[in-house]
Amino acid sequence: MMSAAQSQSTLESKLEALQCHFSWDLNPTNARLFCLREKLVDIGTEEGNRWLGHIYNLRGYIQYKLGFTEDAQSFFTKAAEAFCNIREADEGPWLVVNYGNLAWLHHLLGDQGKSQDYLSKVDALMQKYPSPPQHQLHAETYAEKAWTLMKFSRDKQLLAVDYFEKAIGMQPEMVEWNSSYVLLLCDLKNSKTGVEDEILEKMRIAKEQDPENLYLAAQYLTQRSKKGERIDKDEVHELGRKILINPVSSYSGMREVLRVYRFCVSVDEAVDLAEKALENHPDERYLMRSVALCYSWKILFSGESRPEQSTIERAIRLHEEVIPLYPESLLKKIDLANIYAKRDQGTAEQMYQELLEMDLEPKDKQMLYHSYARYLFFDRREPHNAIKYNMKAAGIPHQSFFRDKSIQTLEKVRDRRRNCMCGEIEEFLENLPNL
């Protein structure tokens, strides 16, 4: 007869073999968990969202990791309901990950009986809906794993590409899988000059197959613009009108179409569209954040040397309202400091000093150091100190957009040979490790 220790060991082995969030080696930091939670809240829970089950599953995992076990169980239950509603069936392979999550949750809460019940449910599903012989997992599992991994680090996003390709190869009719796959490729391969022609063509085909996906439509316009194509303003306006009448969600395409307005129409029209959306839904924090973003563009990046005082005041009020709604957002705090710099440099400097004292992850430190360097150079006219903070950003051994921008800035200073720190910069860059 199996001993209690042997039984526990067998249970744990079965749990480790499951395909679910608890066994996918996600290893997020608390800061990442809070950030992800905020992003998932903004996606919303509108009816018809084909990713709703996946969203609830990930939210359940995040809530457990943050210590909210009751919320975790509630989200896992909602995930099962969402999958069954979307698939219009009481069971199917789409529940494998969900049942795995519940098996793990009950095990971690000490209820081994319920954990074993869900393990049995997973076994029953696997027997009734086996994966094809040439594949280790079922298409539904590959798709959910891919969608989950794309929310995490770059190395996991590269793995997500592979999983999406396997899922789509098995079930090519699932247009939402292909749309997310193409958007992931776009995110990974994006640059100032846009994605490669092959990916742009994939985006065009995906857009035709998924015409209701306005997020994809807006991204497609952005990439066409980056490739040098002249975008018809009427096309942009029409997309903006469609997005305005859609349910509010970060998947609606609002943020993306605002960027198209900024680069292909005007930043003023981007502000007008965002303000109109907020007027229609004044309590939606996602829209409030979108309006704040547009004012940041207008004040900080539009090239206006002296923005109107009313514009600055509106931007400050918005950011001060948005920051408590997104307390983990470092970027909004940086934007507010930079906007204050246009009105009151003393307040801006104080805000930056408070941010510099925070305990941040490497990528957030890079963003802060790079932003502070820009502020020192453009607002305080302190080029030497700006160079020092660009060095701080570049010296952190983590690959990021802000590290690259700081390195590019340092290279420009070095190549111009007009600064007394050129020798120090050259030595610093020579000793900088490639990541």
What is the per-residue pLDDT across 43-93, written as a single tens digit (0 to 9) for each? 988 767 899 999 999 999 999 999 999 999 999 999 999 999 999 999 999
pLDDT at 416 over 50: yes
What's the rounded mean pLDDT across residues 242-251? 94
Best CA proximity match to 253, nearest among 275, 277, 272, 230: 277
Cβ partners under 8 Å of residue 109, min gap 6: 69
Share of the chain above pLDDT 70, in %: 97
How far apart, in whole angstroms, are the C-alpha atoms of residue 18 and residue 37? 24
- pLDDT bracket for residue 429 (50, 70, 90): very high
Query: For the chain, what is the mean pLDDT?
Result: 94
pLDDT score for 134: 83
Tokens of 185: 């490729």
- Is the CA virtual torsion 355, 356, 358, 361 positive or negative? positive
- pLDDT bracket for residue 196 (50, 70, 90): very high
Q: Buried b / exposed e across 263-289, counting CB within 10 Å, b at 16+? A: bbbebebbbebbbebbeeeeebbbbbb
What is the per-residue pLDDT across 335-351, written as a single tens digit (0 to 9) for each? 999 999 999 999 999 99
Could you tell me if 277 and 247 are in contact, meaning their C-beta atoms sit under 8 angstroms apart? no
How far apart, in whole angstroms, are the C-alpha atoms of residue 129 and residue 187? 33
How far apart, in whole angstroms, are the C-alpha atoms of residue 96 and residue 104? 12
- pLDDT bracket for residue 411 (50, 70, 90): very high
Cite the DSSP H helix spans in 190-326.
197-209, 214-226, 233-244, 254-260, 267-280, 285-296, 309-325
pLDDT score for 153: 81
Domains in the chain: boundaries: 4-129+137-142, 173-265, 269-355, 359-435
Q: Amino acid identity of 5?
A: A
What is the per-residue pLDDT across 149-169, written as a single tens digit (0 to 9) for each? 999 888 899 999 999 999 999
CATH node for 269-355: 1.25.40
Give the CATH fold of the 4-129+137-142 domain: 1.25.40
pLDDT score for 4: 52
Could you tell me if 45 and 86 are in contact, meaning their C-beta atoms sit under 8 angstroms apart? no
pLDDT at 6 over 90: no
pLDDT score for 329: 92
How far apart, in whole angstroms, are the C-alpha atoms of residue 365 and residue 25? 25
326, containing H or E segment: none
* Polymer length in residues for the chain: 435
| Cα end-to-end distance, the chain, whole Å | 54
Tell me how far the alpha carbon of residue 19 is from its chain's centroid.
23
Cite the DSSP H helix spans in 18-93.
30-43, 52-65, 69-87
What's the rounded mean pLDDT across residues 365-382? 97
Tell me how far the alpha carbon of residue 198 is from its chain's centroid.
24
229 three-state secondary structure = coil
The tokens 């022609």 sit on which residue?
197
pLDDT score for 7: 64
Tokens of 118: 């869900």
pLDDT score for 155: 85
What is the per-residue pLDDT across 265-294, written as a single tens digit (0 to 9) for each? 999 999 999 999 999 999 999 999 999 999
What is the chain's alpha carbon radius of gyration, rounded to the nearest angstrom?
24
pLDDT score for 12: 87
pLDDT at 113 over 80: yes
What's the rounded mean pLDDT across residues 20-35? 93
Cβ partners under 8 Å of residue 91, min gap 6: 84, 125, 128
pLDDT score for 1: 43
Burial of 359 (0-12, 13-18, 19+ CB in 10 A): exposed
How far apart, in whole angstroms, are the C-alpha atoms of residue 372 and residue 364? 12
What is the per-residue pLDDT across 264-273, written as a single tens digit (0 to 9) for each? 999 999 999 9
Fold match between 4-129+137-142 and 269-355?
A: yes
For 102-106, 178-182, 417-421, which range has the lowest pLDDT when averaged over its residues?
417-421
How far apart, in whole angstroms, are the C-alpha atoms of residue 60 and residue 66? 10
For 229-238, 303-312, 354-363, which range has the lowest pLDDT when averaged over its residues?
303-312
pLDDT score for 303: 72
How far apart, in whole angstroms, are the C-alpha atoms of residue 134 and residue 48? 32
Cα dist from 198 to 183, 195, 223, 303, whole Å: 13, 8, 12, 34
